[in-house]
Chains A and B, each alone.
Chain A
Amino acid sequence: MLENLNDALSIVLSVENFIVIFIGVLIGTIIGAIPGMTTPMGVALALPFTFTMHPVTGILLLLGIYKGGLYGGSITAILLKAPGTPAASCTVLDGFPLAQQGQTRKALEMALYASVFADFMSNLALILLTGTLASFALRFGPPEYFTLIVFSLTVIAGVAGDHLAKGIIAACLGLFLATIGLDTIYGTSRMLFDNYELMSGLNFIPVLIGLFALPEIFNFYAKSKTTVIKAGTLSQVGVTYADFKRCFKSIFRGSLIGVVLGAIPGIGGAPAAFLSYSEARRNSPNKDNFGKGELEGVAAAEAGNNGVAGATMIPLLALGVPGDVITAVILGAFMIHGLRPGPIMFTNNLDIIYAIFIGIMVSSAYLFIIGKFSIRAIAKIADIPNRFLYPSVVILCIFGAYAVNNSSFDILIMAIMGGVGYVMLRLGVPAAPFLIAFILGPMLEDNFRQSLILSDGTYSIFFRNAICWVFWSLTFTSLALLVRSNLQAKSQS
């Protein structure tokens, strides 16, 4: 262990890594602060830039963007009532009223402190729990992985949008696109239609950029105007020790909620933020003030939101299964660098795992520094007119898509996926299940077919032991709960 730790320190302790992590957190905070720019978009655009980096450096850059984005969304949520990320929409409830009451700085600082604390707790959970889960995952064979991925996709498809059926359709489209290429067992062609460029399948980066970056830009061009509300200027009075002490219980509770929900595939920051907020309101002596400018509300929302960041890496590193879109992209980054997250990585590349753990702690420190000293500057950046910002993102997308394989074909794929993504956006079909299914599709099919090879074609292998039964039970339970909640929502309306 000490040798691996030593190797990890030698990997991560370099000036380049410290600079890259700082840049990642800064970029993420800026992207999160700009309404209309999403963190998945930022991570997608940054991914091509990581190809020439060391795997740890590239992954820490993407993680920095992720963490910065989770916090950055709160800045415009408080200042402009325009959450930069979906998860920050809970922060608006009390953050914007506080800003209107002249307590802008207090709201922004509480959002920062809650975010950093929750982020730190999330990192601790990642470091302490991942190894244990990975050692348990060594018992997994192809049937167990198949049932695990089916469970993950079901949950993601169900919670990603309003409509379970649409989520499943999106996931199926992603799975189908992932079959394009050469068959992994027989080497025969699948849906190539004499196009040699499809032999290795669709590259996931143009698909990712097309699905997540372009639809928002298309939507921007469809709108003739948007309404922007501005709060007052930054006040001088910040958070006091008494304020922090009063809100600490909510911050701690929210952090735990974020960690638990973040570790479950498909949940993400927004549900964690709202659950943390509702629990804080339920337990607060000032519950009547929630929604009117209660500092504890901002603290709880941000703690829940940021508590997911490190925790979403737990299923990725331990099992090789991403918990959300960002970790799906990070899985792609691992694969580009020839690494395969999961229990085997804990055996073969423990130094890289430890290096990521160390780097992730550094990113939390940077989050505090950037948040503390750059709120004013970041608020100004959020004022960049969208008529310059969105066209610039299109150009970034083109360069990024080309740089993947030096292939103009990827630009074509990106444009087509942008169109598909826009149609999905307008029809309310969630894109996250599509992308995660696209990334997991090959693994799902491989485990499916390997299981059938082991069992000589008998499907009973998928029910061979308790682990498989547990995942099938979880799958059907989550489906039943999703259907029930849909029916309940319907009858209440």
Chain B
Amino acid sequence: MKSAHLDILFGGFMLALLALVWWVIIPVGIMVPKSIDTAALSPDLWPKIIVLIASISSVFMLLKAWRDVRQPERDSKPDDEVYYPMLQAVGRVAAVPLGILAVYYAMWISGIVASCIILLALLIRLAGERRWWLIALNAVVLPMLLYGFFTYLANVPLPLGLFEQLR
């Protein structure tokens, strides 16, 4: 897909999002006291100014992209890197934030260290390493080192979940 097409999609998405923010999110999300004398001091003025500026920029971006889409795309330098096919790439990329979300939910049950050990092992495996002993070694060492640093050096208590009694 040409970059101009992407810009049109992005500009359209931004305008829709900004309209949602202006008509729904700001009126619902911002409490405006009834006793304000000066409209310029209202809590919703500054967010509205930001939305206006972003909308104007989105319109300019759309107009530029609309003009560019009719012109032949410049020859771009070939990328030395090769990407996975679309669906596979999306799945691989999504695995990382989903893994982080899994840690977010699991850390109060199994503890942050155990959750991160599992996540690290899975991510190293996903990255292509095949040797399970090396995966296990790396997966255990780093979280344990970080646990030691934050708990004993930085005095940041970390949730250990089920392993709390081992502290």
Contacts and interface: CB of A to CB of B under 8 A. Distances in A.
Interface of A: 49, 51-52, 163, 165-166, 168-169, 172-173, 175-176, 179, 183, 185-186, 188-193, 214, 217-227, 385-388, 390-392, 394-399, 402-403, 406, 408, 411-412, 414-416, 418-419, 422, 427-429, 445, 448-449, 452-453, 456-457, 459, 493
Nearest to B38: A457
A388 B46 contact: no
Contacts of A165: 57-58, 60-61, 64
B12 interface: no
Which 4 pairs of residues, A with B, have the shortest CB-CB distance?
Answer: A387-B127, A391-B123, A172-B54, A165-B61
Contacts of B120: 391-392, 394-395
A399 B43 contact: no
Contact of A179 (B47, B81, B92): B47
A395 B14 CA distance: 32
A476 to B, nearest CB: 15
B124 A445 contact: no
B16 interface: no
B30 interface: yes
Contacts of A418: 96-97, 100
19 contacts: A165-B57, A168-B54, A169-B61, A172-B53, A176-B54, A185-B41, A186-B36, A190-B30, A190-B44, A214-B97, A220-B127, A226-B80, A227-B80, A386-B127, A395-B120, A402-B158, A406-B157, A448-B46, A452-B40
Given A185-B41, A391-B123, 19 more contacts: A163-B7, A165-B57, A169-B57, A179-B50, A218-B96, A219-B93, A220-B127, A223-B81, A224-B82, A386-B127, A392-B142, A399-B112, A406-B157, A415-B97, A415-B104, A418-B96, A419-B97, A449-B46, A457-B38
A166 B142 contact: no
Contacts of B138: 388, 392
B58 A188 contact: no
Contacts of A396: 142, 146
Nearest to B32: A188
B108 to A, nearest CB: 7
B20 interface: no
Contacts of A222: 83-84, 89, 92-93
B96 A221 contact: yes
Contacts of A227: 80-81
Contacts of B158: 399, 402
Interface in B120-136: 120, 123-124, 126-129
Contacts of B101: 412, 415
A453 B41 contact: yes
B81 A225 contact: yes
A225 B81 CA distance: 6
A367 B43 CA distance: 48
Nearest to B29: A191
A465 B57 CA distance: 29
B51 to A, nearest CB: 7
A214 B41 contact: no
B21 A176 contact: yes
